[in-house]
Structure 1
Amino acid sequence: MKQLVLVGIICILLAQFGTANIYLTEVMHSPTQVADSEGEWVEIYNDGSDTVNLNSWTIDGKSIGNRTIQSKEYFVLARELVDSTDTDVQSFESYWGNNNGIWDEAFSVTEVSLSLKEEDTILLTNGAQTDSFTYNTSLGGKNGKTLERISLSEWKEGPVDGTPGAGNFSVTTSTNKGNEIALFIQVLNNLPKIMSINMTDESEEEGIQIIPLLGQTKEVEVNVLVNDSDGLSNIQTVSYSFANSSGNFTLERNVSQSTGWYTGIILLSPEMLAGDYTLVVNAKDSENETQKEEQFSYEGIVSTQLNVSSFSITMQSGGTETRAVELLNGGNIALDTEISAEDIVSSTGLIPKNSISVFQDVWLPLENPVWLDTNIAPNAKKELQFRIQLPQEVKSGQYEGKIFITSMESGDGE
């Protein structure tokens, strides 16, 4: 884009119309009062003169629902309004309400699918009007405090617990019409901006967790909000890369002429190891390129197979036999193994389980469960050796019992 130099006299005039103007006014992104997944919330404010139905409004691409906000009303969007069917009893209502399981306080709240980070961009829009807020840790807002909006251009750290349903936000700007300011502006092409990256989160834990599919490729949907003040038509590609994979996103829908949602599917192969990964998203326009990263955790999955399912042994009292079994790790994390057994019984007696041993440097009897530091890598095999020593007094007969092989992530049994 060509550079433009603008020289002029700017006169600012303010007028009020009978319209609805919805603004972000307070953000609780790191609550300590309850867990993040229960206590995150965002407050909005209707500065207009009309009541507004929020059915067409979204926050970070998620619908707010069929609720109304009155003129000059503060309205809270909570991640979990009242306690759901999860294992805890925490929610927005349990702390900012009276903890009776229903919302019956004086200000309006509705539940919306939120997932806030310590550094993030929040986008509130209905397609025609858009308000956004970009923040980072330097602004504060941790340790149970909020980020609170004072004016159109000013945010500050709020008090502990915040002030949901109330505030001091004002869009009024004092002007002195007797003065004029001469502006000399050099306009350059603007960088495209990646405002947010949303990935499918399959856990209530902090951060993004993705659970593998055993033996199958995992498809994960990714949505990227991109802004280019020169217009979306100036965007050439929105692409991604992680590990050894890369690809492009496609424009799904326009939020405005300069902002739009790009979407795509990333594929996680069954051979991909468990661990933390970084998804790198690039937005490129006709002159510039910008980048943003999103961290996610690919969770571990335990899957094992044995090459045999039974031992059939013929032996005499006082005798000793050894057998081997091959254990295959079909999951995506290294595995240790716990071995246990039950007594081998017949109608005429029993062979105690301590007659069975497993080998790890020495023979270890299975009187109690034995933990083996096998550390079997994904897609690797490990041979396990067993020994049976029959007591001299065992009577003849057909005996039956079981050996139990339990696998777990390496280190969990220590």
Structure 2
Amino acid sequence: MGIYRRICSRVIQQALYAAVLVMMLAASSLAAGADVVISEIMYNPSSVVDTAGEWIELHNNGVSPVDLADWQVNGNDFEDITIQPDEYIVVARKLTGLVGEESFEAWYGNGDGIWDASDANFRAVDGYFSLTNTGGTINLSDGYYADIVSYLPSMGADGNDHSLERLGADTWNESSALYGTPGKPNGASQGQQQGEGNTITILADVGSAHPVIGVITIGPDEGSLSGVQVIPNPGAQKNITVTVLVSDPNGAGDIATVTASVLKQEGIETVTLSGQGSVNQTSASFTGVMQMDYYNVPGGYLVRVNATDSSGLKATGIAEFDYMEVIAMQLDATQLAFEDATPGELHEVTGDYDPESSYAPTLRNIGNAVLNAEVSGTALSNGGQSIGVENIKYRFFQGDYQSVSTTPAISAINLEAGEMSTARLDLALYIPPGTTSGNYAGSVTIAAVS
């Protein structure tokens, strides 16, 4: 997805006697660490298995060496190394292996099972991480500074032996070179290392400028906290409106397409945003509607906005929203009748798993969280006569019958969220001996709880 964030925070606790020199050195060290970034990703190779072919490249774009001894990738250590100014190093998931065994060295080196200068003119170390082919996030951190990058298959390099190269703070492209450019500036060719000749690809944008994505607004914002909170519609889809301001130095008319994508558990949904007219000579507003299902997992979601101009130049922006948790249920039966009930006997109405059959009670989870049921009821009465509430029985999933009480009781049915997640509800009524004949009416209340 190409998200680029830098989080650089450090608490320097100093005693009253601490020297100014110590503070200056600490600040200098932190600044040097901030110059180390993730510059290239090979997340889904096709010529070798993922365990042997996945790697990331780090670049020190500062002027001072940085010791990476305490650094981690996604919380996992990698071999100690000091990266020099403007140096590119590779952290490989499997750097070396036995001769004839797949590894980074066998793919990019001479296959002797040892990574050294005879393989290539850049350094590489072993890492302990795994990159998912369907997209993910990479966190490079030393505990004080972090470079966090997210990627998606839609960005390129998906199973074609190309890599994702960082061309700017928030700009990623698929490498033009087959097998990527490990250990080299992005856009460089692998040359003789891949047996393809020493080729330098020259890229130039002539006569056109990249579009620029401005403010991205996501609605409706239905929460009181910072950020955007969206509340699902129980049992129905939720429309989410995305509005974005896009600018282009060549003029607003040069903006060709604007799309928005959101990654959900069932896949990526992409919509094309419609132009709402020019704001000024170089800017225009675009809007569109995305849909979330009521059963989508609650939590944070990223919306990736892509803008393309008439020359094919692109820009990417990211916005976030929280899809809130909703606990809700639907019961298809509103009234049940026990006909010709005989005193001294238990009379049953059995349920099923079809939420459309009102004659057979069914409970349906129409939220996005695990559902339990809270059950209570009232006695059945007929003028001055009554049948105690404890004579009403219920059970879920054909378990043991439980007596209803006027005090709400939680039944742990643990009904998962889903497009058609249902539970069978059986109800029964015991008519005590000596009950006077007549028409009795009472109630059972079932509420959704977590």
TM range (shorter): 0.3 to 0.5
TM-score (norm 1): 0.47
TM-score (norm 2): 0.43
